Chains A and B, each alone.
Chain A
């Protein structure tokens, strides 16, 4: 299996622009997680889905952030409008039931 795939790997944008991060989970996995990692706060869970349904979005920082999972093989995390404090590495991870969680390589976002 190719593992969790994320795109783009790097994104540089200007404040106020819309940013869309993409994730393809491992085929057959029923859980998908979005995390954000910064030096100051470490790795934080933003939202997770089970069978394409959002279960817990309590980690989403504010209304500027939204996530969707239209089907079992694709999810997006959107930031609109983006702000410099959103600069971080965003990870997607997937898991089958209570099994091991597998992380993608991350998207490094820089908002100028």
Chain B
């Protein structure tokens, strides 16, 4: 099972600031997913990245997959209180059937 390390574990910022969170592994990802989980709810898939060097944008969120496919980052521009939540990265294995999650980055955006 691939181990995923996420950093930082906690992040508290003011509305309007930019931030980046990271997901790393010692082994190569076949693909990588980012989820957001709001309090009292289940995780919701934001994006899947597959190709090394790939960059995907979702409004103010920019996801990057490292060239070596061992790391990924999520950058949020001009954070808003609605961005508050737990951001999880996940990799698929076992013939793509099993999803392994990192511990997550808990983000709080203060109005």
Q: Which residues of A does B touch, CB under 8 Å?
A: 4, 31, 33, 41-45, 48, 50, 55-56, 91, 93, 98, 100-106
Q: When chains A and B are docked, how far (Å) is the Cα of A8 from the Cα of B96?
A: 30
Q: How many A-B residue pairs have C-beta atoms within 8 angstroms? Tell me.
A: 43
B56: min CB distance to chain A, Å: 15
Q: Interface on chain B toward A: helix, strand, loop, or mixed SS?
A: loop
Q: When chains A and B are docked, how far (Å) is the Cα of A105 from the Cα of B100?
A: 19
Q: 9 nearest interchain CB pairs?
A: A103-B42, A42-B103, A43-B101, A91-B42, A100-B45, A103-B43, A104-B42, A105-B41, A106-B42
- Is the pair B45, A45 in contact by a Cβ cutoff of 8 Å? no
Query: Is B44 at the interface (CB under 8 A from chain A)?
Result: yes
Residue-wise, chain B 3-46 has the 8 Å CB interface mask toward A (1 for contact) of 00000000000000000000000000000000000001111110
- Is the pair A45, B42 in contact by a Cβ cutoff of 8 Å? no
Given known A42-B104, A43-B88, contact A105–B98 (CB-CB < 8 A): no
Chain A, residue nearest B102 (CB): A42
- 12 more contacts with CB within 8 A, not counting A42-B104, A91-B42, are A4-B42, A42-B88, A43-B101, A43-B104, A45-B99, A45-B100, A56-B97, A101-B45, A103-B41, A103-B43, A105-B40, A106-B40
B76: min CB distance to chain A, Å: 21
